[in-house]
Amino acid sequence: MNTDVDQYEPGVLRVLQSKDEIRAYYNKIAKVYDLLAERAEQPMREKGLAKLAPQPGERILEIGFGTGHCLVRIAEAVGPEGRVFGIDISDAMVEMAGKLLCEKGLADRAELARGDATQMPYVDGSLDGVFMSFTLELFDTPEIPRVLSECRRVLKPGGRLVVVALSKVGKQGFLIKAYEWTHKHFPNLMDCRPIYVQRAIEAAGFDVKEADIESMWVPVEIVLAVKP
């Protein structure tokens, strides 16, 4: 496994905010998050969920679940015999997602935690799938291999990892440069940045099965990989 970040993240900006600052930011915007991001991000999340293809009876984890819409979709797919787990850094997001699951009658299939995906509270080899959408790029560059190593640890052999994230692969035009400039100079306004998704996943020891480049207003990688 290659953990030298310069091998797969050349030119990727660092994350400048502390975990406490990130938590405070998402606690602050939780109630308006869907208005800010869900409309633009939702089509990409749907493509990622299609690649994950959760099945009845499976145990699936979502990292960075936000307001909980994908948790609902996964909980519906795994059925009453399955289980969906979620970990998010924001206390407010955990509360909102929990309420949404209750409203949908799915709370008994879900287990949510407030925490950091660089050190997760799940048993080795206990999960069938892990899903992340617009989350991996929130981690600082040296943390990315730690998060992916944790994903590999908790997955069963053959378990699936799907990551949807802003990408430095694809057409890099003015919008990307403006986005990165804003992230560098105003990290409290633009907390994430494009990364090399497939490269990072391969460097973490996963076998990539599918990797698509989609376009939101910046390139987005949607990657399906499996634990060997």
Task: Lowest mean pLDDT of 39-48, 98-107, 138-147, 173-182, name the range.
Answer: 173-182
pTM: 0.91
Question: Residue 50, Cβ neighbours under 10 Å: how many?
Answer: 11
The one-letter code for the residue type at 96 is: M
CB 182 within 8 A of CB 155: no
| Model confidence pLDDT, tens digit, residues 68-77 | 999 999 999 9
DSSP classification of residue 116:
-
Structure tokens given for 197: 């998704």
Report the mean per-residue pLDDT for the chain: 90
Residues with Cβ within 8 Å of residue 123, at least 6 apart in sequence: 154
| Model confidence pLDDT, tens digit, residues 172-210 | 666 666 667 666 666 565 567 899 999 999 999 999 999
Q: Could you give the angle at which helices 91-103 and 19-29 cross, rounded to 10 degrees?
A: 40
The one-letter code for the residue type at 123 is: V
| Model confidence pLDDT, tens digit, residues 14-67 | 888 899 999 998 999 899 988 877 677 999 999 999 999 999 999 999 999 999
| Model confidence pLDDT, tens digit, residues 208-224 | 999 999 988 889 999 99
Long-range contact pairs involving 176-180 (C-beta distance under 8 Å, separation at least 24): 176/218, 176/219, 179/218, 180/13
pLDDT at 119: 97
Q: For the structural domain made of 5-226, what CATH number should be given? A: 3.40.50.150
